[in-house]
Amino acid sequence: MNAAQFEVPTFDYNEVLDPTSEANLRCIKALLYHGGAMIEGCEDAGEEALHRLADGAFGGLQKDPTRDIANWKIVKKEGATSVSYDHLKRLNQHTDSSIPPHGLPALALLMHYAEGSGTNTFTDGFAVARQLKLEDPEGYALLAKYGYDAERDFVASRVDSPQLYNRGLIVSTQQPLLQLDDTGALTRVQYNEVFRTPLTLPFDVFPKWYAAFDRFVELLHSPEYEKKVPMQKGKFFLMNNWRVLHGRAGGVASSDRVLVGGTITRESIYSQARRLLRERRSGGYADVSQEEELSIRRNARGAEVKVFA
């Protein structure tokens, strides 16, 4: 099954909004197992609806230290210097918080169309990584071993934003694109080409590393792995930001498109999942069993599940 054939799990806004509901639990399971979920049926779209869903259903948005409010907001701007604010241009696949102001990228990203329409693109980074490992095991290992240099000026990169920021922040990182746990299993993809800087890889490593990197990026944007999802006012998309990369198709967004969103920490998502699982165990609020804990962890890693592809 390729990306175009994958049916994105879809949930009703009002049902997911109830933090005790089966719909809420199934939505979180879809996030951890499939990598993402669509939420629709919101009649009062906007920033308040975004916070109502994030706060009520998933534990709240992660606070950005450079602005007073937690959510970001993207509005078309004529002559924008950042591709994010030029709705007619393609925005390539990336993870949010690829250079995190908090120290660690958030597990989940929640985006919401407050106005207008457009088409977003999604790719399961774990599926792409598995394909790369099949084609080029050595290249896969290099992408997991060596970090790529990146830097973000949080003022300069947001010069086109309609929001106000309360402080400057410049962060440099050198994290591997593919991040593995102690057993060698892939746990996180962390990548945004916009912020990549000149590489400081060892000279003898660079050719093989870059060939694997180039192939990984090619696969991210290939029809086999990239899924296009039409979006419109009132819809939300909740995605696993450690696994699913997202972007925007060029030339199809409406001129009145307003996109708002924010990140949600791993702790908030897991806490909500654990609470719902405990409530559903016989005997009430018993501890989640070790089997259930392992199941949550495996699903979060996307173990052997091919999503959007």
Which pLDDT score, from 0 to 100, does residue 138 have?
98
Q: Are 257 and 120 in contact (CB under 8 A)?
A: no
In this structure, are strands 147-153 and 170-176 parallel, antiparallel, or unpaired?
antiparallel
Return d(Cα 254, Cα 161) in angstroms, integer.
Answer: 18
Domain 3-301 architecture: 4-Layer Sandwich (3.60)
* Chain centroid to CA 220: 14
pLDDT of residue 111: 97
Count of Cβ atoms closer than 10 Å to residue 281 Cβ: 13
Q: pLDDT tens digits, residue range 249-265? A: 998 999 999 999 999 99
pLDDT tens digits for 62-111? 988 888 888 999 998 888 788 888 888 899 999 998 888 777 788 999 99
pLDDT given for residue 196 in this prediction: 93
Residues 50, 56: Cα–Cα separation, whole Å: 10
For the cut 80, the answer to whether the pLDDT of residue 113 exceeds it is yes
How far apart are the C-alpha atoms of 216 and 143, rounded to whole Å? Answer: 9
DSSP, res 309 = -
Instruction: Give the mean pLDDT of 154-167.
Output: 76
- pTM score, whole prediction: 0.88
User: CA-CA distance, 67 to 168, in Å (whole number)?
Assistant: 10
Using alpha carbons, select from 190, 171, 191 the residue that is nearest to residue 179: 190
